[in-house]
Every structure is written in C-alpha cells, then in structure tokens.
Amino acid sequence: MTSEEARQLIRSVLHQVAPEADMDDVGEGETLQEALDLDSIDFLNFVIGLNEETGLEIPERDYPQLSTVGGCVTYLTSTR
C-alpha cells in the first residue's frame, strides 16, 4: 500500500465513523481523537474499519500508532 492509498483509506474509514469529520483540518501529527472530536468508541470503530478494509489484524497494543494521520500512514504502509 502506498502512502496515498493509505491516506485515502483513512479518509474513507473516518468518513464512515464520523461523516461530519473534515480530514483537511487534521495535521500529520495531530491526534485524530482531539482534532476530530472522536470518542473512544469512534476510535475503536475506526480501527475496526481499517481491519475490515485491509484484512490486517491490528492488536490493541498497536492502537497508539494509529492515533495520528502520520502514524496511520506509517503503520499501514509498513505492514502490507
């Protein structure tokens, strides 16, 4: 998966979890939960969505790596 594909996937899954969220307002290092006002259930649904779209098993210990756009991109591009 390329960086651009990862970004599109993140955008798509976030749109499913929080349709009102605007990814254009989120910086690479900003925490998704804070920037998009996601609660813990929203974040969990985001991780589940990434799992469903990619088939990747994402262990709970890796969740912190997915807390930012940059972290998600790195995680998704390095595990595929």
pLDDT, tens digit, 9 for 90 and up, residues 25-60: 788 889 999 999 999 999 999 999 999 999 999 999
Chain centroid to Cα 80, Å, comes to 15
Class of domain 3-78 as given by CATH: mainly alpha
Q: What is the pLDDT of residue 25?
A: 79
pTM of the model: 0.90
Question: Domain boundaries in the chain?
Answer: 3-78
Helices (H), the chain: 3-17, 32-36, 40-54, 69-78
Distance CA(12)–CA(6), nearest Å, equals 10
